[in-house]
Amino acid sequence: MAGYNAVIVGASGAVGHELIKVLDERSFPLNKLRLCATSRSAGKEIVFRGRTYTVEETTPDSFTDMDVALFAGGAASLEFGPAAVERGCVVIDNSSNFRLDPKVPLVVPEVNPEDVRWHRGIIANPNCSTIIMVVALKPIYDAAGIKRVVVSTYQAVSGAGQEGIEELAAQTRAVMAGEEYPPKKFPHQIAFNLIPHIDVFQEMDYTKEEWKMVKETHKIMHDDTIGITATTVRVPVYRSHSESVNIQTERKLTADEARRVLAGAPGVVVIDDPAGKKYPMPLFCSDRDEVFVGRIREDNSIDRGLNIWVVADQIRKGAATNAVQIAELLVKYGMLRERRN
């Protein structure tokens, strides 16, 4: 059977596990799979399509005879990405290392799939919150243009990794028992709390996470004239990010028109029935690949204003699924060499 040789770097982590799961679910045509991670994780065993794989320590030779490398995140792509490219491997990177490099495409397949065509060996996966937002923005942008975006995010603790999940669980138990559990992963207690602070503070007292949403959206949409301001907030939810997005369009778009446009967009599911109390929520959007949109209504405070509520699984569509979709584009465009057993 024809397929492609793929290597996953960071295979033992949360995004790595999800990459493996998504490759299987989407029946990505694999000829050979190699799983790599740090020396600490080497030797672990992972089952994929009925076969047990042993995780190897990542080295430059891990990319020999490979066609595509999926990096789950972190610093590994800086260390090993160039070695992978030198060996003829296309890198799809989940870290922030290359996202704003003008020589590296930043791709969301529902938004700018054509950018895959001009890669020079590395393709960047955007920040999870950015991916979720631009999938919902693109159909509105195409229908009416966008002048300005104000976004507030409600980001799950799993966005901070397994340590974030464990801290919320342990801290919740401690608080309920009247005990102390000092924060370790987050700057403050996350149980029964909201923290308007994700990543480090940068210029104008915006956090790095907030600037990512601004700069990455401009790059993905190929339009840096859109005014964008963001406030990113960590919330005590295990999985799936939510976003309140206020949009001012260039041309008038009614709420009904916005619903129709969004309902017909790739990767978008509209759940918008206020009378029936139906709207997207993390509880029901986790472990899904779609971006869910609801609470679609006109903003009565400005001309050409819309409000939308957006929810998606940031580990899947915000990371693993988007990366696999990029690999599928490479196959679609004939940009990977096909192999046969």
Give catalytic residues, as residue numbers: 128, 241
Task: Report the alpha-carbon distance of residue 167 to residue 149 in Å, rounded.
Answer: 33
C-beta neighbour count of 221 within 10 angstroms = 19
Task: Report the alpha-carbon distance of residue 133 to residue 259 in Å, rounded.
Answer: 16
Token pair of 108 as six digits:
């969301």
85 exposed, middle or buried (CB, 10 Å; 0-12, 13-18, 19+)?
middle
Cα–Cα nearest to 314, from 12, 94, 148: 94
C-beta neighbour count of 154 within 10 angstroms = 19
Task: Report the alpha-carbon distance of residue 232 to residue 222 in Å, rounded.
Answer: 23
Task: Report the alpha-carbon distance of residue 224 to residue 181 in Å, rounded.
Answer: 44
Q: Token pair 């998606």 is at which residue? A: 312
Residues 300, 307: contact at Cβ < 8 Å? no
124 exposed, middle or buried (CB, 10 Å; 0-12, 13-18, 19+)?
buried
Residues 207, 201: contact at Cβ < 8 Å? yes
Task: Report the alpha-carbon distance of residue 341 to residue 339 in Å, rounded.
Answer: 7
Task: Report the alpha-carbon distance of residue 170 to residue 175 in Å, rounded.
Answer: 9
Torsion sign, CA atoms 126, 108, 315, 11: negative
Phi, psi of 17 (to 5 degrees): -60, -40
| Strand locations in 83-203 (E) | 90-93, 122-124, 146-155
Task: Report the alpha-carbon distance of residue 99 to residue 225 in Å, rounded.
Answer: 19
